[in-house]
Copies of this chain bind each other. A is one copy, B any other.
Amino acid sequence: MPRIVDVDERRSELAAAASRVIARSGIAGASMREVAAEAGWTTGTLVHYFTDKHELLRFTFEESLARRHALRERREAMTPAEALRDTLLSALPTDEDSRLHWLVTVAFCAQATADPELAALQRDAYREYRSSVARLVVASGRAAAGDARSEAERLIAVVDGVAMQALFDPASWPPGRQRSVVDDALAPLG
């Protein structure tokens, strides 16, 4: 009788271990052995849940991207303007968890260079993110439908740009400073 295992849960657990290793040692340091050890298993186990390393990485990336949408539910109770602000601020690397996910994102961006499949995942996630922000831009009355995409792009650019700087110079970018720059970008136009 085989032990009962929740396969999806185990995959997520292993992907989380992979994320931690990637954030700590980069993708180059994320060997099967290392990831397995981080998760408390052996390499053989990894193979049970992911046919090969490539699939492990792809799944880990997808989980990391999915995180952006994870907080959506709580926004349903907010006004569109609040939801927009919350969406942008929660993307900043202002705590350990979001920092970890940013490091993973950067690692996968670098990896995407050589892997069209990852590049497509990344591109589609971005497009969906942009649509989502654009909807909130319209709903909150910041811009007319025709200008929503530009405004969304501008806002996302500010968030991503701040995040990249904050990631590699945390001393210059305490959480308050990160939020302040984003809040400025959200300030009423004119």
Interface residues of A (CB under 8 A from B): 22-29, 103, 106-107, 109-115, 119, 122-123, 126-127, 150, 153-154, 156-162, 164-165, 167-169, 172, 180-181, 184-185, 190
Contact = CB atoms under 8 A, between A and B. Distances in A.
Contact of A184 (B127, B154, B159): B154
B111 A154 contact: no
A150 B184 contact: yes
Q: How often does this chain occur in the complex, in copies?
A: 4
Q: Is the interface of A mostly helix, strand, loop or mixed?
A: helix
Name the residue in A127, A156, A157, A185 with the highest tally of chain B Cβ atoms < 10 Å from its Cβ: A157
B114 A24 contact: yes
A168 B123 contact: yes
